Amino acid sequence: MNEEQEVGQGLRQLRVTGEVCRPGTSSYEAARAIWNAMIDRHPALIVRCQTTEDVVQCVRFAREHDQLLAIRGGGHNIAGNALCEGGIVIDLSRMRTVQVDPQQRRATVAGGATLGDLDAATQTYGLAVPVGINSTTGVAGLTLGGGFGWLSRKYGMTVDSLEAAEVVTASGEVLQVDANHHPDLFWALRGGGGNFGVVTHFTFRLYPLGPEVLCGLMVFPGEEALSVLQRYRAFAARAPEELAVWIVMRQAPPLPFLPESVHGRPVIVLALCYAGNPDEGERLIEPLRAFGTLLGEHVGVQPYVNWQQAFDPLLTPGARNYWKSHNLEVLEDSFFEELVDALAQLPSAECELFVGALGGATGRPDPAATAYPHRKARFVMNVHSRWREAADDARCIRWARRVFHRTAPFASGGAYVNFIPADESDALQRAYGDNYARLAQIKRQYDPHNLFRVNQNIHPASA
């Protein structure tokens, strides 16, 4: 029996309750579509799992038949690691349940759930987890890479709220993992990406929030960007942890609160969310309005779940995307000048630069407390190049790389693993620093043959 016949016989023995999508079937093309349209891979098989046992069967099959294996949660990974070429994809997108215990302030979240699923379930009780800012992002990928968003200054990184996980290992074993059970694996999951197994359920600690919060946007002209950035720096240095104010620099989209004459013009946007009493928040944010010529604003008290979806229209699937990022501890004038220069050279209407505010609770844990080590970073810059046509690939990627290179002297080092593109070969050491050696040892223990390698891959340590 040759290898192809052996794999074919194995497929007939693959018993799962979920849908098996093969090339040529009506469901296959839809199943292999992911957020970043630059990724065009053709797996041999996509299994839309419905249970943990489905995942176990797929992992065992891939291991026994030496098949390349990819794991899809939300399908948002910028490098396209939700898919592999010619191998098997474990697709968790049908495992989206969220169970909330409001008395204990805990949520158990299936591995295919999105941030929208999680927010909707927890906000029913006025509770939340600090997660990202796009509701269609998968909880799994965000969490395993660290995770940050509007609530992180107050409540920490997403991994800081993770209390337990159910993990299918490379051997097909199902482990219940927490600080007291397999603590080394629990440490690695909090920032180490998908290297150590398939997480089928996460358990998070919840915090009181909302259901309504003060949040919104203030928009200023791009030609005033330098002075707005300088004022922002002074404001951010004294902002309380409840207040997150982020910078977005791009061409103005056709937002209804902006005059038509502003649409398409370079702008600098202050995006804000206050995780506290809205009346107090209004007093705190009032100085922001004087940062420059206010072209328009949409700020007020609204449901947190609505704010979590506010950026979704600008981040829909189907566009081509390429990211580069830096961590920063201080914001220097020369760094601001590079951002202003980049704003003047945007290669498409959808490209943007953002500076997300960290600090506060994200900086309290020791860098060795979790696999995510960048506790000194007070800001994260993301160069988000986004466009529609393949003919524009070289131009848009070149812009992102240029901005990344020119801002590197002002960065504090390190890399946020969820923002690493596929071509950034030196990124892993930057992403994990002194934690890398321990991660490699844990990788050897739980995945010695590197079955889980379609990711920002940590190779098992040598014996």
**DSSP-assigned letters across all residues of 153-182:** HHH--GGGGEEEEEEE-TTS-EEEEESSSS
Q: How many CB atoms lie within 10 A of CB 441?
A: 14
Task: Transcribe 221-248 into DSSP letters.
Answer: EGGGHHHHHHHHHHHHHH--TTEEEEEE
pLDDT of residue 425: 67
Q: Summarize pLDDT for 292-304 with one digit per residue, the tens.
A: 999 999 999 999 9
Say if CB 203 and CB 186 are below 8 A apart: no
Say if CB 99 and CB 116 are below 8 A apart: no
What are the distances in angstroms from CA 247 to CA 111, 218, 274, 356, 432?
31, 10, 15, 7, 26
Say if CB 288 and CB 238 are below 8 A apart: no
Q: How many CB atoms lie within 10 A of CB 463?
A: 5
CA–CA distance, 110 with 125 (Å, rounded to integer): 19
Q: Mind listing the pLDDT tens digit of every residue in the chain (463 residues)?
A: 444 444 444 455 688 999 999 999 989 999 999 999 999 999 999 999 999 999 999 999 999 999 999 999 999 999 999 999 999 999 999 999 999 999 999 999 999 999 999 999 999 999 999 999 999 999 999 999 999 999 999 999 999 999 999 999 999 999 999 999 999 999 999 999 999 999 999 999 999 998 999 999 999 999 999 999 999 999 999 999 999 999 999 999 999 999 999 999 999 999 999 999 999 999 999 999 999 999 999 999 999 999 999 999 999 999 999 999 999 999 999 999 999 999 999 999 999 999 999 999 999 999 999 999 999 999 999 999 999 999 999 999 999 999 999 999 999 989 999 999 988 867 888 999 999 999 999 999 999 999 999 999 999 999 7
Residues 6+ apart with CB under 8 A from 101: 107
Q: Model-level pTM?
A: 0.95
Q: What is the mean pLDDT of the chain?
A: 95
Q: Which of 250, 254, 244, 217 has its CA nearest to residue 384?
A: 250
> Which domains are present in the chain?
3-91 (3.30.43.10), 98-209 (3.30.465.10), 212-419 (3.40.462.20)
Q: Summarize pLDDT for 262-280 with one digit per residue, the tens.
A: 999 999 999 999 999 999 9
Kindly give the pairing relationship between strand 212-221 and strand 266-274: antiparallel
166 token code pair = 């159910």
Bridge partners, 389 (sequence order): none
CA 361 to chain centre: 18
pLDDT of residue 445: 98
